[in-house]
Amino acid sequence: MAVLIDGKALAKKIREQLKEECNELKTNKIIPKLAVIMVGDNSASKVYVRNKSRACEEIGIEYEEYLLDENIKQEELIKLIQKLNEDKSVNGILLQSPIPGHLNINQAFKAITYRKDVDGFTPSSVGKLSIGEDTFISCTPYGVIKMFEEYDIDLTGKDVVIVGRSNIVGKPLIQCCLNKNATVTVCHSKTKNLTEHTKRADVLIAAIGKPKFITQDMVKKGAIVIDVGINRTEEGKLVGDVDFENVEKIASYITPVPGGVGPMTVAMLMNNVIKATKEQYNINTKF
């Protein structure tokens, strides 16, 4: 039976550390502030934004929310981002995705100044990650790496197979794992003989958004399995991309859904807000 990687407990530990750092900043009259932009009325986004708001409140980060009409023009969205870039009281800017299809999300991400890019999506952040420089790392991949560190899982020389190549999770995870000296294979919807790849993985990371897609016969005995997926069944139950009940029987480590990667994503966002604040005030960061 696999060891459960408890993302909920680790996220709580990280938030407690960040609360201490936030209190230290406040003794110097520095109050970290996160501005979140949400375009349209996406129910899933509302849940994610609410979780971020609660985490800010717990840690002591000031939180500001901008709810924009789904028919907003690109120029108006960019104008708001530029305004927040120039606002010295704002330390981090987050554009909640997805946004309506008529808007260019990449152009919007590019408009966010690097110093406030707490989601790690600007070209500067992505480029710095690719050459191994200190930067803001996309929150979900960063959370996965922190889980490996917490459980003393050394990726050096391990075959890591990532199923999914999104800009938000799959692609930054490639670089994060390479930076930990892993050998990385990326699979996606066009990959042939997928099971041949997943079956040889020492570490299998599923990030495709298909409920229970990774089954026991696709996993090597003793593999470490990280489930990034969050899917809701017709009955309303939250499940991951991995058939947890069966894969757990043969894996060495596994993340649950919920309670695995999800809480870590929010925790690492909070970490990035504190990091951005400290860098803007030329204070050394712990992470």
Do 96 and 36 share a structural domain? yes
Digit-coded pLDDT (tens) for 108-130: 999 999 999 999 999 999 999 99
Do 154 and 88 share a structural domain? no
Which of 78, 99, 115 terminates a domain? The answer is 115
Q: What is the CATH number of the domain that holds 181?
A: 3.40.50.720
| Catalytic residue flag (residue 107) | no
Whole domain around residue 84: which residue ranges?
29-115
| Catalytic residue flag (residue 96) | yes
Check 6, 33, 96, 278 and give the catalytic one: 96
Number of domains in the chain: 2
Q: Is 131 inside a domain boundary?
A: no
Do 255 and 151 share a structural domain? yes
Do 223 and 157 share a structural domain? yes
Q: Is 279 inside a domain boundary?
A: no
Check 6, 119, 202, 227 and give the catalytic one: 119
SS3 207: coil
Which of 60, 83, 115 terminates a domain? The answer is 115
Write down the pTM of the prediction. 0.95
Digit-coded pLDDT (tens) for 239-252: 999 999 999 999 99
Beta bridge partners of 161: 185, 204
Do 214 and 147 share a structural domain? yes
Edge-first strand listing for the sheet containing 253-254: 3-4, 253-254, 224-227, 203-206, 159-163, 183-187
Closest CA to 219 of 239, 245, 238: 245
Strands (E), the chain: 3-4, 33-39, 62-68, 92-95, 159-163, 183-187, 203-206, 224-227, 231-232, 238-239, 253-254
Q: Is 85 inside a domain boundary?
A: yes
Cβ-contact 33, 62 below 8 angstroms = yes
Digit-coded pLDDT (tens) for 28-58: 999 999 999 999 988 878 888 999 999 999 9
Q: What is the CATH number of the domain that holds 47?
A: 3.40.50.10860
| Catalytic residue flag (residue 280) | no
Check 33, 52, 158, 275 and give the catalytic one: 52
Digit-coded pLDDT (tens) for 71-98: 999 999 999 999 999 999 999 999 999 9
Q: Is 19 inside a domain boundary?
A: no
